[in-house]
Chain A
């Protein structure tokens, strides 16, 4: 390792005090930390979960019944040194969001959020929530100030108050993968990277290059970077709102796909940054940076609309009538953004702490200037705990073309009589009288935001640390520097929380630093027996007391193809008749595919020889699509049609806690018992959004993120090996400990038997073949009745009963699978003890309960490291 050689050379010239030896050594890498660290010390794996939760917006005149925006995020990162000078970093992240968010703004008196009324069985009309109305009418003064009227039309006075128009989004997931490859010279480094971000309606490809130069014995570091992003939008316009939105300006960009209107656009972003980091003295350093980004193309948010108030100036009445119409927002096709920042870090001697101060100025040619101030106090409490209180303040001006709503002094459309032809014709609005650009996106308004939070980090060993943080954020027009911000109608607040697990690989096998130096200095369990195929959990114990293992499991399962009834392909008629309820409850929809992806972090610890404890948090996401069945029965009176497009969900799944107990441990044969509990941390109450003026109830059972119940998970595992051969068998079960979860149902109990054989091809490589039999019962119970509104009538239960996926009987079955796997164990070098495994499970036989989609297979991948 070149950097280490340099360090050693320096140390030889002038030996430092021994107490400072380690710190000095690390200090040489210091400026590098900002850009592209290449030290093997930086080989690490991080996992993070984050949650963003907004508060409910105030709609003033009606109760806001909609859950606000909520985002669940998962992040994983791994950095490896490939050689002394080359390192590789890969990131994966995904966000799933749902909830209500502003799509436009209008005068409050226009009643754009109207009470969502429904008739009860007893004939009463009650308010059940709020519903958006984009095209409404109001009365204004000659100077276009909105007027408040009472129920009989009497004018009460001026009413300039505004309100956001809220719209609801069903859960959607974004996934991003990217990589960086770095090369390090003695006093410079270069790092190139690229990646892909995928959403249903947005796809982004990006590449970047960063370089670093060190000067003055690394007292000064200069970073230069450039990046390029190319993004495609293909936004499905809300089928409920679309008919009420004027889309003329984007006519050439909108395509019709079935019943859907899709708005397409492309944008490109070029970005450059330069930064300079300087060590000021033994106690402080600073960084200054400059950045420039040019964005071109479709820069709009396709879901934001501008409310335009059309007032026909030819009106002669004392008070004028304004007609509100919603237009897709129009932004300039170019944006030049410039930013400049500074960061200062000072050691505080008396507290043994560090204070971090940050300021950033932003200016673009849309007229937005913004200031960000940040301060953090990083306080180590003991040698392993660090607490960091932080505060942040942000303030921005509005974009030049930002307006809460627009006024246009013309009629939206009017009829004109042509005396020559004797016909009436419709004269539409004149687009040239509208500004070229307009947006009411809150992000472009003038406001300030203040936030404060706390983060805690705990180092468990040289290698493992946990971090957790919370932050409260308040956005308000009145918080803008210098005043003049948006009115209080736009204020909102939010909470953010995160938890991260960080593993430093370089320190894992370094027993000199370990908490238990009495153990022999090599990873051990890897030598005891070959690893089971990647899809097998609970396959081994840790051998030594005090040892740890950290791992990651990935599982992707696909269902698709034909619909099955039992073991046979089901006809459309059979699905319609038997897949759902009886009579009018016959099926109208059926799934076309369903994908499930799980990410699991696997933490194992052996407090005693022969006992291993495991904690396994999970993050999962799911996607499915539906199609209409041919020969479907008509929609029953009062019934409702499911929107029929794709659905997605994602977030934290259930959390497993296990104990593995050694029973028999002979040279060639091992047997252990696993006892586990699964806590119902995954959501089972995810709902579909209201569509077609209909509440749709809970999303299908299979799309919920957890089982909803506490589950008991016992297992019995036998493993054996002889020379190059190893084998194993496992019986495991999942027993629901509760009759039903919080939403009224419990998944079926499950029994699984598996057996495998594996051959060691080389000290590193082994391949496996495995048979699996699974038997799972159908779901018991059903979703609790969820009251809601369908076509203006309040129903006791609006849960979907439109396809096989909505019925408890169509879950579970008996399955045979054949697995093909490969395992790789690193047997020497820096990464000794790392194991990787991949297994594909191919369905052999499928016998489903009721009517279900066929199975396509499942891919499992694992990474583990014992230390």
Chain B
């Protein structure tokens, strides 16, 4: 049962996790070398893209989303009810 307001919960969640997010982000950022555009040959390879198979990923995300609580929030991109 929920015994406090959702708003407080959200604030708590954000408070608990934002610290980690900022900490790791700054850690990673501080370790970043200056990579000039002409040094990005490796980074431009297809296997180095953040999503190598975006169309395929959509299908698998949709399948996870119909069976898992955390992936189910496909707000803004459709996806339907998934009520099965």
Contacts and interface: CB of A to CB of B under 8 A. Distances in A.
23 contacts: A28-B37, A33-B51, A202-B81, A202-B83, A206-B75, A225-B76, A227-B75, A279-B32, A282-B35, A288-B24, A292-B10, A302-B83, A332-B2, A345-B50, A353-B47, A360-B70, A449-B67, A455-B53, A467-B56, A494-B63, A496-B63, A498-B60, A500-B55
A469 B53 CA distance: 10
B37 A217 contact: yes
Interface string B43-84: 111111111110110111011101111111101111111011
Contact of A370 (B1, B33, B68, B80): B68
Contacts of B39: 282
B40 A24 contact: yes
Nearest to A199: B80
B47 A280 contact: no
Contacts of B64: 394
A249 B66 CA distance: 26
B78 A271 contact: no
B40 A279 contact: yes
Interface size grouping (class) on chain A: 35 or more
Interface of B: 1-2, 6-7, 9-10, 13-14, 17-18, 20-21, 24-25, 28-29, 31-53, 55-56, 58-60, 62-64, 66-73, 75-81, 83-84
Given A75-B55, A378-B52, A23 B73 contact: no
Given A69-B84, A95-B80, A498-B56, 17 more contacts: A34-B50, A99-B84, A174-B80, A176-B79, A219-B32, A269-B73, A278-B32, A281-B32, A281-B33, A285-B43, A290-B18, A303-B84, A338-B14, A394-B64, A442-B67, A444-B69, A494-B63
Interface string A476-518: 0000000000000000001010101010000000000000000
B48 A278 contact: no
Interface stretch (A395-403, A637-645, A711-719, A784-792): A395-403
The 3 closest A-B pairs by CB, nearest first: A227-B76, A27-B40, A27-B44
Interface string A270-310: 11000011111111011110101101000001110000000
A281 B35 contact: yes
A224 to B, nearest CB: 13
A340 B37 contact: no
Contact of B68 (A33, A50, A443): A443
Contacts of B60: 469, 471, 496, 498
B20 to A, nearest CB: 8
A366 B10 CA distance: 11
Nearest to B84: A101
A24 B38 CA distance: 5
A536 to B, nearest CB: 30
Contacts of B83: 201-202, 235, 301-303
Nearest to A227: B76
A280 B24 CA distance: 13
Contact of B78 (A178, A345, A396): A178
A542 B44 CA distance: 35
B37 A10 contact: yes
A216 B29 CA distance: 12
A365 B2 contact: yes
Contacts of B45: 23, 347, 354, 380
B70 A336 contact: no
B38 to A, nearest CB: 4
A469 B73 contact: no
A195 B32 contact: no
A339 interface: yes
Contacts of B78: 93, 176, 178, 195-197, 204, 206, 229
A338 B59 contact: no
Majority secondary structure of chain B interface residues (helix, strand, loop or mixed): loop
Interface string A178-208: 1000000000000000011101011010111
Contacts of A761: none
Contact of A48 (B9, B24, B33, B55): B55
Nearest to A363: B13
B69 A396 contact: yes
Contacts of B69: 362, 364, 368, 370, 396, 399, 443-444
Contact of A340 (B17, B66, B67): B17
A612 interface: no
Max count, chain B CB within 10 A of own CB: residue among A30, A73, A276? A30
Contact of B17 (A93, A361, A475): A361
B6 A282 contact: no
Contacts of B28: 278, 280, 286, 288
B70 A378 contact: no
B31 to A, nearest CB: 6
Given A281-B33, A282-B43, A496-B63, A400 B2 contact: yes
B59 A496 contact: yes
A480 to B, nearest CB: 12
Contacts of A231: 81
Interface in A318-361: 332, 334-340, 342-343, 345, 347, 353-354, 356, 360-361
A75 B2 CA distance: 40
A376 interface: yes
B1 A276 contact: no
Interface string A800-815: 0000000000000000
Interface string A359-397: 011111110101010001011100000101000001010
A14 B36 CA distance: 11
Given A75-B59, A169-B84, A368-B69, A229 B76 contact: yes
Contacts of A276: 25
Interface in A216-274: 216-220, 225-229, 231, 233, 235, 269-271
B55 A77 contact: yes
A443 B67 contact: yes
Contact of A33 (B42, B49, B70): B49
A144 interface: no
- Of the listed residues A195, A204, A400, the one surrounded by the most CB atoms of chain B closer than 10 A to its CB is A204
Contacts of A206: 75-78
Given A229-B75, A233-B81, A24 B37 contact: yes
Contacts of A496: 59-60, 63
Contacts of A288: 21, 24-25, 28
A46 B25 CA distance: 34
A340 B21 contact: yes
A286 B25 CA distance: 9
Contacts of B63: 50, 52, 71, 473, 494, 496
Contacts of B25: 276, 288
A281 B28 CA distance: 11
B46 A16 contact: no
A426 interface: no
B60 to A, nearest CB: 6
A354 B33 contact: no
Contacts of A156: none
A143 to B, nearest CB: 22
Contacts of B14: 292, 338
A342 B21 CA distance: 9
A178 B77 CA distance: 8
B75 A33 contact: no
Nearest to A26: B44
A362 B56 CA distance: 23
Most buried by A among B10, B17, B70: B70
Contacts of A471: 60
B72 A386 contact: no
Nearest to B40: A27
Nearest to A339: B70
Given A339-B70, A362-B70, A376-B52, A279 B76 contact: no
